[in-house]
Structure 1
Amino acid sequence: MPLTATRSRTRPRRYLITLLCGLLPILSGLGILYMQAERTLEQHTRQTAQELVQQVELMLDNTALSSRELLPLAGQPCEAVKLALREQVTRRPFVRSTNLVRDNTLYCSSLFGAFEEKVNPDDYHQGTLWLMNGNPVTPDTALLIYRLNEGQQGVLATLDGYYLANALHLIGGQTRLRLQVGSNWLAADGKVRQTPLPALLVAQSGLASSRYPFNVEAGFDEGEVWRYMAREYPPLFSLLIFFGAIAAALGHWLQQRTSSPSRELQRALEAGEFVPYLQPIVHSDSKRWAGVEVLMRWNHPTEGLVRPDLFIPFAEHNGLIVPMTRALMQQTLQLLVPLTPLLEAPFHVGINITARHCQDLALVDDCRRFLDAFPPGAIALVLELTERELIEPTPITHQLFEQLHGLGVKIAIDDFGTGHSSLGYLRQFNVDFLKIDQSFVAMIGADALSRHILDSIIELSGKLDLNMVAEGVETVEQSDYLAAHGVNFLQGFLFGRPISGQDFIEALTALNGNYPPPGY
């Protein structure tokens, strides 16, 4: 191998790094699953609250209809109208009793006939509904009373709390539901309470009726997100553990590989052995080339092409990644400038940068020289933040990104969702693009549950008004799904593999004469 060993790590440190390698994909995956579970529960409580409002409105429609039919009878002698009161009770579902009121006195009831009891209009929320905890006939049994009044005459129709509690229980299931009328509220146990409505700590959702003066609250107790994940996501937990084990094994193996890269990398840099390979990025709708991602390859004189994962981490560790990237940009510039008339402006050129690039302002000069070589507007330079090393939000870093944006340089987060700092970068830096990692793209068509993770990333990008690039697109199904969900740009083997500069010239020439290029 081109890199050979001279330094070893102590065993405790190696084990610690191995453990961290295993935990990172598990913890990041749990974070994404947690956000998805919260979103699902919030949607559920909104839907449940709406269903309960509709059901209670249906019950009150019956009491309101009975009251409107009986209102003309208010004021007449009880003996003459009591049969009409009882008829409404037998005809109308959910109506428990009907009563006539004259001068704020209940004088006739479907239950007792002639009766006399004072009615206090202030007991009724907005003069219409009163949720009470029973009456002398059925104490400690909830009642919802509907009041319809016209002048000195009125009708009271009662709705049995059994139906209300049953609706709370059947519609809610595992969801906590409360029906509130004024300061009184009813839970699924059928008890009316006058205490302040307690908060629901997870996915609380409130909804007021537009037709009657009541509202409902839906939500879950603390810890429901984790309980939901335990019920619904066991296969994904196994997948996360598998990825964690793979990452830990890979991290352990990489640490055990002995390497002393500085001299060999420096030699290769001076010999110009690091060359650009370009992979096309296409518009999701037209599939026309929108740009390329520039990838570094090591054209070793004896080993041939060396995979980037075998030398990029060493270059970052030794600080050589900065001059290597500068050389890569210079080679890319020399390759693309003669091809400018063939490029569809603004042609996106994506180049990876790391934490090492963000420690001083030299990157600004490198980008300025790159852009100045092209006609204005011909090139859109996109710097992709990788997460092999954490980029600290220092004053220098903020100044760097501010100056880069001043030049018109775009910032993208590469492999979004797979590293521990992606969400932190969104908060700390002014980002223009999210690059969706191929591991999420691969979930398309695998199973509906896994696809929720990808959908959450796409939804997050839409809310933040960020452009999206999906990596690792290999099938037409994946391409169609991403385009239908608003992903702007696509990249993957379906549209082209990373190719050398000469192959890129040939492909671009063919592209302009015959789209797509033959055999591409």
Structure 2
Amino acid sequence: MPLTLKSTRKWTDRYALVMLSGLLPVVLGLFIIFWQANRSLQFEATQTAAEAVRQFDLMLDNAALAADVVLPLAGQDCVQVELPLREQVTRRPFVRSVNLMWNNQIYCSSLFGPFKEAVDPADYASGELRLMAGNPVTPNEPLLVYRRAKGQAGVLVSLYGSHLVNVLGLINQYTQLLIQVGGNSIDKYGQVRNTPPVPYPVAQVTVSSSQYPYQVVAGFRAGTVWRFIRAQYPGLMGLFVFLGVVSALTVRWLKKRSSSPTHELQRGLDAAEFIPYFQAVVRSDTKQWAGAEVLMRWQHPREGLVRPDLFIPFAEHSGLIVPMTRSLMQQTARLLAPHASSMEPGFHLGFNITARHCQTLELIDDCREFLSAFPAGRIALVLELTERELIVPSAITHELFAALHGLGVMIALDDFGTGHSSLSYLHEFNIDYLKIDKSFVAMIGVDALSRHILDSIIELSVKLDLGIVAEGIETEEQSEYLASKGVVFLQGYLFARPLPATDFIKTLVARHTPPQ
């Protein structure tokens, strides 16, 4: 997803500099501009490709660590090693599946357990990496497979291709990028090709990884140099043509800076482009709406509606997630408060919070302001703790959660069972709800081990007197199974997709209004 930098330079600044440069001829000025533009684009392409290699190496390092752990298990019976394989999937970021081989034959998978499929080492670059457009499980989703072999034993670790696409699309909006593994390549649009990529016409560079057999190719489209020059140096006229060229080049040389996702996020926040979407939560017995999770979407002026996984990590890293969440709560209160009478008493409204929210006490005032917009007792505010960043217990965090509970705010632990810190959160913080991750729900009726884990989570919530919400419900079988286990609240596409505010309010009012 391209991110753009909001320009802070004014025409008056550029014009003043133009007036200072009056001795250089027009030809020299044009030559300097063209030369500098090419040099800058070459530098930008190199830096962007190097950053992409750094991030891809980090992903593959996780795959290599998983392979190191499970390689000694190769040759053992699949039933004995299924759990360690799945443990590596949950512990290692970006890892999709871990598979054991013997004599180049997959015999055990973290996804399916016992599994048989032949592996040809020749399909892998240097016998180590393979880029695939998809596999029988997910034919339309690309993946990168890391292979490690020692004698007859071997391991295949697959990485989500969506992570590769995210990196290619987010690093720099102007640079064209692709990653090449052997004879295959993938670009920021997620298209995997098995033919040699078409060279980029402008400033193409290739940066190879020093650790793994792949390379990143970066460059620009045809005409970028002149478009770049026209965009940076407008308004040249008359006798001041060469003055404008030289001054604009000087400003560009001195003040040029790389595109920054943080600046684009701040621009979007200032422009109120981050808007709420609502996904209903239903009761398992009556299928009545019991609440909704408020999801953040970016209504980008050029890219359209942007998925949260493409910008939330940047927002969390930069700290902008806090004012973005505040804005989301304020918009939600403004939109839903006039329709409070259409909600059942205690209607749940849930917002995601991260470690950044827990470093100060500002969240208390945000929640107090949100609750004051609704009649007393009409809604219940739920804050869902995510685990992308670890929340470190401290005096401030304990004071924060105590004050939130004092306001009647409930705390839910999101995606329970998939993070490292879930159990420690239960110990440190006064949790009210557990949200079962959709990965466990998806395996109902498919994988016995995941179902046992799911049952254990439900049993744990009962013993700890915690509410429980199951996410990702897509089939009636999943809904009926969870209802039979006493899970009260369900959320998923089976009941409702995330809706923009207008559609959500319309549906909410219609469900509350009795038929004529």
Provide the TM-score with structure 1 as the length reference: 0.56
Deviations 1:227-277 (A, max 9, x none): xx9663545555647436455765566556515211111111111111000
Paired residue type of 2:171: T
SS in structure 2 at match of 1:349? strand
Partner of 1:409: 409
Partner of 1:75: none
SS in structure 2 at match of 1:396? helix
Is 1:310 the equivalent of 2:157?
A: no
Paired residue type of 1:232: V
Please give the alpha-carbon distance, in whole angstroms, between the structure 2 residues aligned to 1:292 and 1:26: 43
Partner of 2:418: 418
Please give the alpha-carbon distance, in whole angstroms, between the structure 2 residues aligned to 1:230 and 1:412: 39
**Pair 248,502 (structure 1): closer, same or farther in 2 beyond 3 Å:** closer
**Pair 265,435 (structure 1): closer, same or farther in 2 beyond 3 Å:** same
Is 1:19 the equivalent of 2:19?
A: no
Q: Which of 223, 236, 243 is matched with 2:97 structurally? A: 243
- The correspondence of residues 186-225 of structure 1 with structure 2, limited to 5 A, is none
Deviations 1:386-442 (A, max 9, x none): 111111111111111111111110001111111111111111111000000000001
- The answer on whether the counterparts of 2:166 and 2:310 sit within 8 Å (CA) in structure 1 is no
- The answer on whether the counterparts of 1:25 and 1:243 sit within 8 Å (CA) in structure 2 is no
Please give the alpha-carbon distance, in whole angstroms, between the structure 1 residues aligned to 2:361 and 2:66: 31
**Pair 390,486 (structure 1): closer, same or farther in 2 beyond 3 Å:** same
SS in structure 1 at match of 2:419? coil
**Pair 296,426 (structure 1): closer, same or farther in 2 beyond 3 Å:** same
Per the TM alignment, residue 19 of structure 1 is displaced from its structure 2 partner at its CA by: 3.1
**Pair 412,26 (structure 1): closer, same or farther in 2 beyond 3 Å:** farther
Quick one: percent identity of the two aligned structures? 60
Please give the alpha-carbon distance, in whole angstroms, between the structure 1 residues aligned to 2:465 and 2:376: 25
- The answer on whether the counterparts of 1:18 and 1:252 sit within 8 Å (CA) in structure 2 is no
- The correspondence of residues 454-473 of structure 1 with structure 2, limited to 5 A, is 454-473=454-473
Paired residue type of 2:387: E
Deviations 1:444-476 (A, max 9, x none): 111333311111111111111110000000111
Partner of 1:321: 321
SS in structure 1 at match of 2:512? helix
Partner of 1:330: 330
**Pair 420,310 (structure 1): closer, same or farther in 2 beyond 3 Å:** same
Please give the alpha-carbon distance, in whole angstroms, between the structure 2 residues aligned to 1:22 and 1:461: 35
Partner of 1:80: none
Task: Mark the structure with the bigger radius of gyration.
Answer: 1
**Pair 21,492 (structure 1): closer, same or farther in 2 beyond 3 Å:** farther
**Pair 20,419 (structure 1): closer, same or farther in 2 beyond 3 Å:** farther
- The answer on whether the counterparts of 2:359 and 2:397 sit within 8 Å (CA) in structure 1 is yes
Partner of 2:262: 262
Please give the alpha-carbon distance, in whole angstroms, between the structure 2 residues aligned to 1:366 and 1:292: 19
- The correspondence of residues 96-111 of structure 1 with structure 2, limited to 5 A, is none
Partner of 1:371: 371
- The correspondence of residues 11-160 of structure 1 with structure 2, limited to 5 A, is 15-16=57-58, 18-20=60-62
Paired residue type of 2:286: S
Please give the alpha-carbon distance, in whole angstroms, between the structure 2 residues aligned to 1:492 and 1:443: 15
**Pair 416,247 (structure 1): closer, same or farther in 2 beyond 3 Å:** farther
Partner of 1:478: 478
**Pair 355,246 (structure 1): closer, same or farther in 2 beyond 3 Å:** farther
Per the TM alignment, residue 2 of structure 1 is displaced from its structure 2 partner at its CA by: 3.3
Per the TM alignment, residue 513 of structure 1 is displaced from its structure 2 partner at its CA by: 2.7
- The answer on whether the counterparts of 1:384 and 1:411 sit within 8 Å (CA) in structure 2 is yes
- The answer on whether the counterparts of 2:294 and 2:351 sit within 8 Å (CA) in structure 1 is yes
Is 1:488 the equivalent of 2:488?
A: yes
Paired residue type of 2:97: F
Partner of 2:144: none
Partner of 1:285: 285
Please give the alpha-carbon distance, in whole angstroms, between the structure 2 residues aligned to 1:342 and 1:26: 56
Gapped runs of 5+ residues in structure 2?
A: 5-43, 90-94, 99-156, 173-259
- The correspondence of residues 352-391 of structure 1 with structure 2, limited to 5 A, is 352-391=352-391
Partner of 1:232: 79
**Pair 491,411 (structure 1): closer, same or farther in 2 beyond 3 Å:** same
- The answer on whether the counterparts of 1:281 and 1:489 sit within 8 Å (CA) in structure 2 is yes
- The answer on whether the counterparts of 1:415 and 1:436 sit within 8 Å (CA) in structure 2 is yes
**Pair 346,354 (structure 1): closer, same or farther in 2 beyond 3 Å:** same
SS in structure 1 at match of 2:495? coil
Per the TM alignment, residue 360 of structure 1 is displaced from its structure 2 partner at its CA by: 0.3
Please give the alpha-carbon distance, in whole angstroms, between the structure 1 residues aligned to 2:470 and 2:323: 29
Deviations 1:350-406 (A, max 9, x none): 000011111100000000000111111111100000111111111111111111111
Per the TM alignment, residue 329 of structure 1 is displaced from its structure 2 partner at its CA by: 0.2
- The answer on whether the counterparts of 1:18 and 1:249 sit within 8 Å (CA) in structure 2 is no
Provide the TM-score with structure 2 as the length reference: 0.57
Partner of 1:506: 506
Partner of 1:168: none
Paired residue type of 1:405: H
**Pair 242,10 (structure 1): closer, same or farther in 2 beyond 3 Å:** closer
Paired residue type of 1:15: D
- The answer on whether the counterparts of 2:385 and 2:413 sit within 8 Å (CA) in structure 1 is yes
Please give the alpha-carbon distance, in whole angstroms, between the structure 1 residues aligned to 2:326 and 2:361: 13
Paired residue type of 1:289: W
- The answer on whether the counterparts of 1:353 and 1:386 sit within 8 Å (CA) in structure 2 is yes
Please give the alpha-carbon distance, in whole angstroms, between the structure 1 residues aligned to 2:362 and 2:56: 34
Please give the alpha-carbon distance, in whole angstroms, between the structure 2 residues aligned to 1:25 and 1:386: 28
Please give the alpha-carbon distance, in whole angstroms, between the structure 2 residues aligned to 1:373 and 1:25: 53
Paired residue type of 2:61: L
SS in structure 1 at match of 2:97? helix
Q: Structure 1 residues 250-259 or 466-475, which shifts more?
A: 250-259
Paired residue type of 1:339: H
Please give the alpha-carbon distance, in whole angstroms, between the structure 1 residues aligned to 2:171 and 2:267: 19
Paired residue type of 2:507: A
- The answer on whether the counterparts of 1:22 and 1:248 sit within 8 Å (CA) in structure 2 is no
Paired residue type of 1:258: I
